[in-house]
Amino acid sequence: MRQVEIGVGEEFDEGLRLRPDGRPEHPVRRLILDDWHDAGPGRIAYAATRVADSLPLVIGVATRPPPDELRPLLEALTLTLTGPRVDAGAQHLVPVEDPRKGFAELAGIVERRPQASLTLGQLLRRTPSLGTLQGLAAEASAYSMLLGGTESTAWRADRRTPRSAAKNGPLVRVRRNGGTLSIELDRPQRRNVFSFRMREELFEALELAALDDTLDRVQLTGAGPVFCSGGDLAEFGTAWDLVAAYLVRLDRAPWRLIDRMRDRVTVRVQGAAVGAGVEMAAFAGRLVAAPEVFFQLPEVEMGLVPGAGGTVSVPRRIGRWRAAWMTLTGARVDAAIALEWGLVDEIDDHER
């Protein structure tokens, strides 16, 4: 595979050029925004339309501040990597130390996992404009499809994941104090890994809260040093019916209930919020982070897209462009950057 660069005067090739085995030759393209500063408005508008309709991912690279006239193009791109000289205040921009090197690293990821990367790119163009249920349905269908794909299958085959040891007692603890319901993920010895059983217990706790209008506040926390380390890897790929798994993912989604009650829900995270941990937390009306926490979306490396509502919740907070960067790279985002981007609402170093 090779990367294709989109120049100012060039025509656009929107296709993937699929090989006989279904793998695309050109899954990602680069657009150097510095070269577009003097482009006319007609050319910019045309380019933005073609980029928005592109099947490959189109990554912008900017070493100088893009002029306001390029905003339609910035909005159409998958994301834009910027250097230290650029004020990266807008959600379209992702600041990195070296944007050209950053592109090369991104391109390597996309070429290694083109199925998941391209599915993510199309998904993130849809979910921000959809309602919560419709966005979750789009995500769940993409996730279920990728579970049966070659990338996810190969990732599982390369790993030797031990089976999860059963834990006696509840995985989610609930207590009420007046008008406040406190819900705690309680599997600290496994870093609150998000298993099927934990999902069911969390759903039941949140369902009770949603039906009780005497509750003013719902607080969600995690026991131990880590809020949630993501989905239980021992359970990945165990569903024998992917259509049934899709329906369960919709019907028994705790994050849908968090979104429904978002004005009443506060989530406090510490240590790490990985995968499902950050995805469901981002639905809350208020997300509070400890100073040491990091956030991570590692699903693309597994041949998947986020499956706990992350393509809905995270873009709502930080924009689809930074959400694409987080998910494609699987990079850790610390609390300070999360606060700057709006992924969290507050950093609090007090003990819970």
For the segment 10-34, what is each residue's pLDDT rounded down to a tens digit? 666 667 888 888 888 889 999 999 9
- Please give the Cα distance from 254 to 241 (Å, whole number): 21
pTM of the model: 0.93
The span from the CA of 341 to the CA of 344, in Å, is 8
CA-nearest of 53, 101, 55 to 81 is 101
Boundaries of CATH 3.90.226.10 in the chain? 132-347
Pairing of strands 172-177, 180-185: antiparallel
Q: Do the strands 294-296 and 286-289 form a parallel or antiparallel pair, or are they unpaired?
A: unpaired
What is the identity of the amino acid at 256? R
Confirm or reject CATH 3.40.50 for domain 4-112, answering yes or no.
yes
Report the top-level CATH class of 132-347.
alpha beta
pLDDT (mean) for 50-59: 94
pLDDT at 1 over 50: no
As annotated, the residues of the chain forming the CATH 3.40.50 domain(s) are: 4-112
Q: What is the mean pLDDT of residues 216-221?
A: 97
DSSP assignment of 242-262 equals HHHHHHHHHHT-HHHHHHHTG
pLDDT in tens, 291-344: 999 999 999 999 999 999 999 999 999 999 999 999 999 999 999 999 999 999
Please write the tens of the pLDDT for every residue from 85-124.
Answer: 898 889 999 999 999 999 999 999 999 999 999 999 999 9
